[in-house]
Amino acid sequence: MISIVNRGDGKPSSLSGIQFGWHIFPWLYKDSHTHFYTSWISGGSSSKGCWNMKCPGYHKTSSRIAPGQVISPLSRINGNKSYITLRIFKEPSSGDWKIHVGANSGHPKLVGYFPKSLITRLIDKPVEISFGGYVKHRKSRPSPPMGSGYVFETGRAASFGILKLIDAQGIDHTIIADLPSSTDGKGCYTPSKIKWAQFFYGGPSCVD
């Protein structure tokens, strides 16, 4: 997932931001498939935000891919690999956050946007950009696997690659140095360091 947020005064009630990427969410979809998704929240309130297009917010501009759509095919251990390219930038003229998606070697194309008016704290306030993964589960149960289910030391972990930041002039800057990272869950999903614009992440089921 890629997340762009403004944390306000640091309290959960002031969190505002947008997020998109791919996830497995049985509660939302009633299946165990991997889905492309978008989400947004304003002011930390669940009543001001939602997943995909279950409430007004995200604007779809393409019939090719929509929030909630199943992603297929997926990568296989010791088999074919699949890639998804995600790109988001703030349109200078409109202030809208535009999302582009591409599959495998395909050039990412515009699929939708979050309008400037949706979350005013992202207009001219400092933002925090993050990317990676997370899992959620009941405390009485082990957490689910993340990514491929392998830790990065095995060489079989899921990965992010060709990491870039886009500046105010629309110029791409490749991320070649490591960035700060955070991990909870007793280190079950510790990411690798960023090298050559790539890092590995994920791990098996974990017991907190």
pLDDT tens by residue, 167-184: 888 899 999 889 988 887
Handedness of CA 93, 40, 165, 120 (dihedral sign): positive
The tally of domains found in the chain comes to 2
Q: Of 131, 164, 188, which one is at a domain's C-terminal end?
A: 131
CB 69 within 8 A of CB 36: yes
The tens digit of pLDDT for each residue in 113-167 reads: 999 999 888 888 878 999 999 888 777 678 889 999 999 988 899 999 999 998 8
Looking at the structure, tell me whether residues 123 and 163 fall in a common domain.
no
Looking at the structure, tell me whether residues 19 and 77 fall in a common domain.
yes
- Statement: residue 91 has pLDDT above 80: yes
- Statement: residue 64 has pLDDT above 80: yes
Domain of 180, in residue numbers = 138-208
The amino acid occupying position 131 is: F
CB 156 within 8 A of CB 201: no
Q: Of 131, 161, 193, which one is at a domain's C-terminal end?
A: 131
Let me know the angle formed at the C-alpha of 89 by 44 and 70, rounded to the nearest 5 degrees: 75
Cα gap 189→206, rounded to integer Å: 9
- Give the H or E element holding residue 90: strand 84-90
- Which two tokens mark 202? 């994920």
The tens digit of pLDDT for each residue in 50-63 reads: 999 998 899 999 88
Per DSSP, helices labelled H in the chain are: 26-29
Kindly indicate the confidence band of residue 69, based on its pLDDT and cuts at 50, 70 and 90.
very high
Chain centroid, CA 175 distance in Å: 17
> What pLDDT does 158 receive?
93
Looking at the structure, tell me whether residues 156 and 200 fall in a common domain.
yes
Cα gap 206→115, rounded to integer Å: 38
